[in-house]
């Protein structure tokens, strides 16, 4: 008996969503504190010796932590090629900025110590800051846009067509709700990085990290509550009606949905576990 007869389409979707969730959570937990440490570098370390201490806290692990992101992108490509194509082509400029920041970060780790020049090291320190803060912010902006919807349509041959010009599409991603989620994402990873520094470092560096972590933690909680209320009452969600399979197969489906106010609250009715998870995360 072949595999597709043993596993139906709905179960296969759940398996792949669970796998993708594990990979993205692993990326947030591991590479998240790397980004937070980079974003905190100019603020918790005032001398070159202190900056060296902060960098050494992630020195042995930062390379391996990026593997989660690569595996997550590969999982999207393997399971949902149209989603991969739509997101990476539609968010091309945003993806380019993220990749540029992620490329600059390892270069900064390797080249910072090559010269004793103060300006040289300071430049690479700010590169590490950008390599941590920029991806954390843009990842949050991407999540905010996914929650409220992105203006594109699929042609009959599954070609994604976006509204607006190239740069206008990127500017359109920087809307108020998405920026709020981006700031919340940055604050959350800064809190993560501050906890890591305070755990690995000692003395004044650890003290500064704990202070920054307290502030960023409060910003994270406030942003989470505000974004949740905004999402629940200020953004129209979509209620699923039915799914059409024009080719008789579940590979090419057309979701039929209708927009409605407070749609995200409506979709949560009867699924109390969804609310419990959100409250557990906030706790």
Q: Are residues 202 and 150 in the same domain?
A: yes
Does the pLDDT at position 1 exceed 60?
A: no
Task: Quick: pLDDT tens for 64-97.
Answer: 777 888 888 888 888 887 777 777 777 778 888 8
What's the N-to-C CA distance of the chain in angstroms? 46
Residue pair 262/232 in contact (Cβ under 8 Å)? The answer is yes
Question: Are 205 and 271 part of one and the same domain?
Answer: no
Say if residue 49 is in the same domain as residue 185.
yes
153 and 224 both lie in a single domain: yes
Is there a single domain that holds both residue 88 and residue 11?
yes
Same domain as 158, residue 26:
yes
Q: Which tens digit of pLDDT belongs to each residue from 196-211?
A: 999 888 889 999 999 9
| Statement to judge: residues 251 and 198 lie in one domain | no
Same domain, residue pair 86 and 124: yes
10 Å CB burial of residue 251 (0-12, 13-18, 19+) is exposed
pTM confidence score: 0.77
Expressed as residue numbers, the domain containing 247 is: 237-283
Name the percent of the chain lying above pLDDT 90: 21
Non-local (6+) Cβ contacts of 234 within 8 A are 177
The answer to whether the beta carbons of residues 198 and 206 sit under 8 Å apart is yes
Q: Are residues 92 and 183 in the same domain?
A: yes
CA atoms of 150 and 89, how far apart (whole Å): 13
Are both 212 and 247 inside the same structural domain? no
**Which range, 55-64, 184-193, 253-262, is most confident?**
184-193
Pair 143, 53 in one domain: yes
Domain boundary among 195, 218, 235: 235
pLDDT for position 115: 86
The pLDDT of residue 158 is 63
What pLDDT sits at residue 217? 92
Rounded Cα–Cα distance for residues 267 and 84 (Å): 25
- Same structural domain, 159 and 272: no
Q: What is the number of structural domains in the chain?
A: 2
Work out whether the CA dihedral 171, 31, 277, 13 comes out positive or negative.
Answer: positive
């Amino acid at each position: 008996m072949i595999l597709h007869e043993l596993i139906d389409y709905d179960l296969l979707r759940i398996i792949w969503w669970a796998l993708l969730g594990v990979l993205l959570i692993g990326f947030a937990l591991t590479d998240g504190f790397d980004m937070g440490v980079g974003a905190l570098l100019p603020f918790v370390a005032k001398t070159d010796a202190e900056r060296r201490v902060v960098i050494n806290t992630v020195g042995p692990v930062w390379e391996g932590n990026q593997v989660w992101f690569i595996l997550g992108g590969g999982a999207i490509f393997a399971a949902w090629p149209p989603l991969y194509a739509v997101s990476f082509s539609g968010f091309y400029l945003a993806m380019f900025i993220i990749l540029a920041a992620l490329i600059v970060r390892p270069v900064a780790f390797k080249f910072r110590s090559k010269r004793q020049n103060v300006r040289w090291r300071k430049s690479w320190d700010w590169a590490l800051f950008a390599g941590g803060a920029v991806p954390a912010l843009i990842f949050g902006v991407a999540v905010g846009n996914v929650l409220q919807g992105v203006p594109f349509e699929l042609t009959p041959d599954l070609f994604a067509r976006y509204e607006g010009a190239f740069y206008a599409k990127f500017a359109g991603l920087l809307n108020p709700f998405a920026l709020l989620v981006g700031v919340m994402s940055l604050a959350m990873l800064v809190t993560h990085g501050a906890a890591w520094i305070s755990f690995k470092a000692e003395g004044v560096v650890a003290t500064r990290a704990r202070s920054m972590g307290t502030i960023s933690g409060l910003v994270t909680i406030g942003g989470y509550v505000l974004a949740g209320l905004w999402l629940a009452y200020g953004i129209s969600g979509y209620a699923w009606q039915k799914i059409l399979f024009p080719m008789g197969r579940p590979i090419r489906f057309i979701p039929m949905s209708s927009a409605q106010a407070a749609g995200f609250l409506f979709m949560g009715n009867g699924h109390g576990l969804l609310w419990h998870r959100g409250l557990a995360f906030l706790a």
